[in-house]
Structure 1
Amino acid sequence: MGIKKLRSVFMRYALCLALTVLIVITLNVGSYLFCVSIGAIYPLTSISAAIEREKDTLQTARQIEESDIPHLCEYVLFTKDGRYKGGSIGWEYSATVWNTCMENGRTSGGAYLYSVIEREEEILILRYRMTAQFGNATLRSMFPSADWLLIVTILLEIMLSLVVISFIFGKYLGKKIDKLLTVVHKIEQQDLDFEIQKSRLFEVDQALDALDHMRLALRQSLTRQWRDDKMRQDQLSALAHDLKTPLTIIRGNAELLFDTSLSTEQRECAEYIENSSLQMQEYVQVLIEAAKSWDSYKTCMKRVSMDSLLLELKNQIDGLCAVNNISLHWDCGHYPVCITADHDLLIRMLINVLSNAVEHTPQGGEVIFEIEEHSNELFFLITDTGKGFSDEALKHATEQFFMEDDSRTSKSHYGIGLYVAASIAKKHNGKIILENSAVAGGAKVTIQISLKNPVSI
């Protein structure tokens, strides 16, 4: 099968439609003529011919009987001066017939044709429809005009053929265009390692070729970008780790200085050295965090005991709260026995958020930790009694390096803590929701993760 052009495909379907129309007309007209030949349909000419054949008989007959009237004709009898005498046409319509034929001298009116036969002492007027009619009385009552039925049938069948052929044509084009949409979707998702399947339609294949060139160029560009980013991340991470050693030496020597006899000025300088080295270590930790690519980090999903995880988490947070003179309200009600998650990432995420809550809670305040389970989702709710999130922080606090003077972003984390927590939640098919608690008056962070094959207690 060769490659087709769109215009040739369109012409093929157009010719198919034309052939279908021709077949429809031929079959219907053939059926019509067959019905005429067997007497199932009486054309107008046959009715007129029957009247002409019976005209002499009707003129000379002693008395007009209904059986003498030609088939499919109605009749009415008048005296010479126009008085109604009888017939199959009722008296109420007789005046109209007389006025049409005798007063106005017309042989047609409305949907009817008329034939006037003058007898010796009366006038006979025949009326018949100006169209072909069915011989069967039931069909004739349902379809007064066989000609109109033929026309309507042909039109309906042509319209049906048009709909069917258009559907087939649209389905054919849809399959070809689906190949384009598939390629576009894969490129949009940056899935660039695939072979493009040709559609064998010239115009679509041209677009596919253009998309293939774009795919290759984009893959090369992204490969270079990913390689450069990885190199920068590796260099940044290596540099940060290398800085740890001299900083540790500086801090250790500064601590040793305090064990010697120092003057007030020397002790002040030693304190500057120690404080600066601590601050530099925090900067180095920020560099290490920033060097990690959370999108490419491979999670280690396994069965995690919730009791063990919560015990480990509580042991770490209890000490942090005690140092800061903050009470911890631990409310863990219904939760699964085990979940499928990355244990280390989950601990890191929860500690990041809890540490942030402790840091922004004033002494004597409270941090509330709760767990809820709904619709195969696990929720960790962390609330504090601090001043809460600012409006801007509610929108941007989970963005990397977001800093704001009045924000809840920890100064010790430099806009990384909530970003890391949000990234970890996303890797567990979840999300982080930031809000301010109307009850506690402080901030409320809800961490939602998806449960996989949970076992509830």
Structure 2
Amino acid sequence: MGVKKLRSIFMRYIFAVAGGILLIIAINLGLYSLCVNTGVIIPAMQIEDRIAAAAESIQTDELFNKADIPSFCDYAVYSPTGVFLDGSLSEDTANTFWVEAVTNGMDRITPYRVLVIDRGDEVILLRYRLTSQFSNATLRRICPTTDLLLVGLIIVEVIFLLFLISHWFGKYTGKKIDKLLFITQKIEQQDLDFKIESSGIFEVDRALYALEHLKQALRMSLAEQWQADKLRQDQISALAHDLKTPLTIIRGNAELLYDTELAENQKECTDYIEGSVIQMQDYVETLIEMTKAKENFPFRRQNVKVSSLLQEIHTQAKGLCVVKNVHLEWNQNFNQECISVDREQLIRAFVNILSNAVEYTPAKGTIFFDVNEKDNAILFSITDTGSGFSSEALKRATEQFYMDDQSRNSKSHYGIGLYVVNSIVTQHGGQLILSNSEKTGGAQVTISIPY
């Protein structure tokens, strides 16, 4: 397909319009001529000739014969003194035309022409239109002049032609410009795996080629950024793993010190060492968790029995609750036998939520775990009896590193727990819903997984 310039497309549009108008005029004139030749339409020239012939017959005939009057012509018969005797005109109209034509000597009374024929013992008045008209009386009453009908038809047909050609032109150019919109949307979404094809319009292609260069530049920039991020994550992950070994050694030696006789101040220092090492180990685990979250985890979906999945989650939940002397109330009501999920990732998400729930639930409090079905999805709801989410946390709790100081008194999660959970739920095509329970006043986290 050749590439055309907008100028040539506009010229084609103009030529199409001009050619269409000429074709419309030619067709209508041809039909008009056909109607004239077949006697459907009487042209103005024939009207004058037929009126002249009728006037001569009326003037020379011994007796007035109505058959001599053309069908397109109205008439009136008067006495020599102007008294209306007969005719196709009404008496009032005939009297008006007598005054204008005979008394005032006018031969044109708009929109009519008038011809007066004096036969001596009577006067004949003929009234007619000097314009092309239908020979049929009914059509003549509907449209007195065919010239106006012809012009009107041509105007309507030209307007319709302009509409059709403009619609085609707009649709044609719109499809070409849609390529630009498609590409800009792809670039906006950072989806750069597409091929740019020629639109067939020179000016649009120039814009497409500019977008192609932009796409390549953006691809290189994103590749460099992704590579730098990956390298940084690898470095953090390696450093975090490397730190675990000396921290384990320090903690082990600190615990060995407890087996020796220590003075009170030495025991206090050992306690500080062990507490700081535990805190540093938490930092290291957080760094490792963060790098795993950035990598989006390997996703291995498989059919899993819901009962088996819940059994493992229940075991984990009981273990977490025992540590802080928290009661676990478990309720389940579902019929779905299997669900397609990544078992390990989903369990990891629930452990994150349960850990938070246990942490913010006071000792001897209760955590509610409810399982239900709704709209082709299984709903897992975990509710604690803590202080609940603040209004800000409800909006931002799934952001990485977000910590709500108003509702959290612990710093062991560093704001990535719900971020990780949200990433896992999103991979499953599900939804993470955060709210505060009306029943307990505590935080309620609901995971919806479709099946």
Give the TM-score normalised by structure 1. 0.90
CA contact (8 A) 1:356 1:409 kept: no
Pairwise mapping of residues 213-228 of structure 1 onto structure 2 (< 5 A)?
213-228=213-228
State the distance in 2 between where 1:105 and 1:381 align: 106
Classify 1:224/1:66 alpha carbon distance in 2 versus 1 (closer, same or farther; 3 Å). Answer: same
Aligned to 1:358: 358
User: Percent identity at matched positions?
Assistant: 51
Look up the SS of the partner of 2:39 in the other structure. coil
Displacement of 1:389 in angstroms is 1.4
Pairwise mapping of residues 176-255 of structure 1 onto structure 2 (< 5 A)?
176-255=176-255
State the distance in 2 between where 1:162 and 1:6 align: 19
Aligned to 1:411: 411
CA contact (8 A) 1:393 1:408 kept: no
Displacement of 1:137 in angstroms is 4.2
> What per-residue deviation string (whole Å, max 9, x for no partner) do you get for residues 392-416 of structure 1?
1111111111122114596321110
Look up the SS of the partner of 2:322 in the other structure. helix
Look up the SS of the partner of 1:155 in the other structure. helix
Look up the SS of the partner of 2:27 in the other structure. helix
Unaligned runs of 5+ in 1: 452-457
State the distance in 1 between where 2:119 and 2:438 align: 107
Q: Which amino acid aligns with 1:369?
A: F
Aligned to 2:148: 148
> What per-residue deviation string (whole Å, max 9, x for no partner) do you get for residues 153-179 of structure 1?
222222222222223222322332233
Displacement of 1:432 in angstroms is 1.6
Classify 1:329/1:130 alpha carbon distance in 2 versus 1 (closer, same or farther; 3 Å). Answer: farther
Aligned residues: 451
> What per-residue deviation string (whole Å, max 9, x for no partner) do you get for residues 27-55 of structure 1?
11111112112211112332232112111
Computed over aligned residues only, the root mean square deviation of the Cα atoms, in angstroms, reads: 2.5
> What per-residue deviation string (whole Å, max 9, x for no partner) do you get for residues 135-154 of structure 1?
23454455443222222222
Displacement of 1:294 in angstroms is 4.2
State the distance in 2 between where 1:447 and 1:93 align: 93
> What per-residue deviation string (whole Å, max 9, x for no partner) do you get for residues 38-94 of structure 1?
211112332232112111323455665543321212223344555443322234544
Consecutive aligned runs of 4 or more in structure 1 exceeding 6 Å deviation: none
Classify 1:80/1:185 alpha carbon distance in 2 versus 1 (closer, same or farther; 3 Å). Answer: same
Unaligned runs of 5+ in 2: none
State the distance in 2 between where 1:101 and 1:422 align: 99
Aligned to 2:292: 292
Q: Which amino acid aligns with 2:258?
A: F
State the distance in 2 between where 1:421 and 1:136 align: 87
Classify 1:291/1:149 alpha carbon distance in 2 versus 1 (closer, same or farther; 3 Å). Answer: same
CA contact (8 A) 1:409 1:417 kept: no
CA contact (8 A) 1:402 1:409 kept: no
Classify 1:193/1:121 alpha carbon distance in 2 versus 1 (closer, same or farther; 3 Å). Answer: same
Pairwise mapping of residues 5-404 of structure 1 onto structure 2 (< 5 A)?
5-59=5-59, 61=61, 64-79=64-79, 82-91=82-91, 93-94=93-94, 97-98=97-98, 101=101, 106-109=106-109, 111-129=111-129, 131-294=131-294, 296-404=296-404
Displacement of 1:440 in angstroms is 2.9
Classify 1:111/1:366 alpha carbon distance in 2 versus 1 (closer, same or farther; 3 Å). Answer: farther
> What per-residue deviation string (whole Å, max 9, x for no partner) do you get for residues 211-260 of structure 1?
11111111111111110000000000111111111111111111222222
Displacement of 1:380 in angstroms is 2.1
CA contact (8 A) 1:4 1:200 kept: yes
Q: Which amino acid aligns with 1:314?
A: H
State the distance in 1 between where 2:129 and 2:429 align: 77
Displacement of 1:293 in angstroms is 4.8
Q: Which amino acid aligns with 1:284?
A: V
Displacement of 1:444 in angstroms is 2.2
